[in-house]
Amino acid sequence: MPTMAFQCSYYLEPVDTRDLPRRFLEAFAAILAHSNYGPVLDTVSRISAHCARCATTCPVYQASGEPRDIPCQRSELLLAIYRRYFTLAGAIRARAGTAFELTEGYINTLAEEVYRCTACRRCKLECPLGIDHGMITHLARWILAEVGIVPKALRVATREQLEGKTHNTSAIPAAAMQDTCEFLVEDCRDTYGMAISFPIDVEGAEYVFFPAVSDYLLEPDTLMGNAAVLTATGASWTIGSQYFDGINYGLFYSDRMLDRIVSMEAAEVRRLKAEKVLIGECGHASRSAKFFIKTFCGGRAAPPVVNIMEYTLQALRAGKLELRPGAIDARVTYHDPCNIARSGWIIDQPREILRAICAEYVDMSPKGRENYCCGGGGGTVSIDEIRAFRTGVGGATKAEQIRRTGATVVVAPCANCKKQLREVCEDHGLGHVQVVGLHDLVLKAIVPPPAMQVAPPDGPGQSGA
């Protein structure tokens, strides 16, 4: 297979370069024909989209200072192709010999530039015309994916999720997941004096729980906190053994993959005759399920989607969950994951919980929808070979935000944000800062009902963060 040495900063599987420009344009045309991107691109391509006000809000450009990182500059790479090959004006210029021709080198440049963007969509806040450069970045990535140009880290994980034996991005067998749950039950009993459970394959439950599957490997306290809340409140919930991964990398690079992955979530809910999808602490997992299960899996008939933080707050407000005020004595701040804050619906809910349990809580500035990306958004956190760029450029502004709060604990309710922020703190001299999930702290603050109490609490569960 003819291949080209793509000059990308991330690893690729071999790229078939036979008639690459033609295949790129065919993929572009097919996507325009079978999606609603066409009217958006047509509108954006006709208006002035080069004022560069987006540069004032982009954390990547603010750190790098390179014009290539200005959002509208990057979007122009795709818009130029659209104008040339999909508009009448482009056809006329081509006949006159004044239009550019798409080349392998141009596609190479596009492939590099769209993965310097974290797709945080902060630029949209400042754009006077409301142009969504994050959406344009996503579309460019999707077209590239259709011709085989995807960072290897994303492609391998998605292939295992959709076609592998385990059907999850971390390749965890169902038996290993169940063993982990059994260990966490014992650990929670021994460390926190609480009896929790992780129901598996219970039919007719209200919720099927889909955390980021990496939590089973990396975030035991987050999972124990999730289970403690659900057990304490008497929730009707279960984990499906056939599909238990909330991660959806399709949100980052391909609507086709996005569709297939949320369809697997919906299918597991149907298999277990459950009612709702319950997503764990993960920004992109929450956004992909909340907005796209309805799109791809039945519209109004699709199962409702709830984030675990919404559930916890509702239980706290209803008096079903008791938390100890001031249980966390460290100085705590909160990081807003882009996919559930700026692009979602979860901003105040976790803060209300934190204020209920923290002796000293402080917000970052700016916060909420205006907060800065961790620097690893849009799937870039999975690409370890670009860590220096992710933390040194993409995460530079976030590191300064954290430093200004004086906090020693950063709550980041997102698997990707946790990984990125831990690396950001390590690379920016913030090694004393602990990055945890919201339910890591809830676990330490929960007052278990009598039925959950196994032994007098003994250990780190009753100390500050």
pLDDT for residue 6: 73
CA 296 to CA 5: how far, in whole Å?
37
CA 238 to CA 227: how far, in whole Å?
10
Q: What CATH number does residue 51 fall under? A: 1.10.1060
Residue 465, pLDDT > 80, answer no
Residue 74, pLDDT > 60, answer yes
Give 196-221 pLDDT, tens digit per residue. Answer: 999 999 999 999 999 999 999 999 99
Q: Is residue 454 part of a domain?
A: no
Instruction: Mention every residue, 6+ apart, whose C-beta is less than 8 A from residue 21.
Output: 101, 102, 103, 104, 106, 107
Looking at the structure, tell me whether residues 182 and 304 fall in a common domain.
yes
Looking at the structure, tell me whether residues 336 and 369 fall in a common domain.
yes
Nearest 5°: phi and psi at 204?
A: 80, 10
User: Which helix (H) or strand (E) is 218 found in, with range?
Assistant: helix 215-218
> Which among 296, 316, 336 is the end of a domain?
316
Q: Which residues pair with 184 in a beta bridge?
A: none
User: Which helix (H) or strand (E) is 358 found in, with range?
Assistant: strand 358-361
Q: What is the DSSP letter of 391?
A: I
What DSSP letter does each residue of 166-215 carry, written as one string?
Answer: S-STT---HHHHHHHHHHHHHHHHHHH-B-----BS-TT-SEEEE--TTH
Per-residue pLDDT band at 463 (split at 50, 70, 90): very low
Looking at the structure, tell me whether residues 248 and 103 fall in a common domain.
no
What DSSP letter does each residue of 272-337 carry, written as one string?
Answer: TT--EEEE-S-HHHHHHHHHHHHHHTTGGGSPPEEEHHHHHHHHHHTTSS-B-TT-EEEEEEE---
Looking at the structure, tell me whether residues 38 and 117 fall in a common domain.
yes
What DSSP letter does each residue of 238-267 carry, written as one string?
Answer: EB-SS------THHHH-HHHHHHHHHHHHH
Q: Is residue 9 part of a domain?
A: no
The angle formed by the CA atoms of residues 269, 273 and 275, to the nearest 5 degrees, is: 65
Looking at the structure, tell me whether residues 414 and 312 fall in a common domain.
no
Instruction: Mention every residue, 6+ apart, whose C-beta is less than 8 A from residue 296.
Output: 258, 259, 262, 263
Looking at the structure, tell me whether residues 176 and 308 fall in a common domain.
yes
- For residues 142-154, give the mean pLDDT: 98
What DSSP letter does each residue of 67-128 carry, written as one string?
Answer: GGGSHHHHHHHHHHHHHHHHSHHHHHHHHHT-S----HHHHHHHHHHTTS-----THHHH-T
Instruction: Mention every residue, 6+ apart, whose C-beta is less than 8 A from residue 404.
Output: 364, 365
Looking at the structure, tell me whether residues 99 and 42 fall in a common domain.
yes
> Model-level pTM?
0.95
Looking at the structure, tell me whether residues 204 and 295 fall in a common domain.
yes
Q: What CATH number does residue 386 fall under? A: 3.40.50
Nearest 5°: phi and psi at 436?
A: -135, 170
pLDDT for residue 49: 74
Give 2-61 pLDDT, tens digit per residue. Answer: 555 678 999 999 999 999 999 999 999 999 999 999 999 999 999 877 899 999 999 999
Structural domain including 424 reads: 321-445
pLDDT for residue 55: 97
Q: For residue 57, give the 3-state DSSP assignment.
A: coil
Q: Is residue 31 part of a domain?
A: yes
Q: Is residue 2 part of a domain?
A: no
Report whether the peptide linkage leading into residue 366 is cis, meaning its omega lies within 30 degrees of zero.
yes
CA 59 to CA 356: how far, in whole Å?
31
Looking at the structure, tell me whether residues 207 and 70 fall in a common domain.
no
Residue 89, pLDDT > 80, answer yes
* Side chain identity at residue 307, one-letter code: N
Tell the burial category of 195 from Cβ atoms under 10 Å away from its Cβ (0-12, 13-18, 19+): middle
Residue 459, pLDDT > 70, answer no
Looking at the structure, tell me whether residues 84 and 220 fall in a common domain.
no
Q: Is residue 451 part of a domain?
A: no
Give 271-318 pLDDT, tens digit per residue. Answer: 999 999 999 999 999 999 999 999 999 999 999 999 999 999 999 999
* Side chain identity at residue 124, one-letter code: K
- The count of C-alpha atoms lying within 13 angstroms of the C-alpha of 37, restricted to the half-sphere facing its C-beta, is 25
Beta 305-307 vs 276-279: how paired, if at all? parallel
Q: Is residue 346 part of a domain?
A: yes
pLDDT for residue 50: 85
Q: Which of 40-54, 56-70, 264-278, 397-411 has the lowest mean pLDDT?
A: 40-54
CB 239 within 8 A of CB 209: yes
Looking at the structure, tell me whether residues 141 and 30 fall in a common domain.
yes
Q: Is residue 158 part of a domain?
A: no
Looking at the structure, tell me whether residues 173 and 300 fall in a common domain.
yes
CB 398 within 8 A of CB 424: yes
Residue 162, pLDDT > 70, answer yes
Domain count of the fold of the chain: 3
Nearest to 54 by CA among 77, 72, 78: 72
Q: What is the DSSP letter of 55?
A: G
Q: Is residue 289 part of a domain?
A: yes
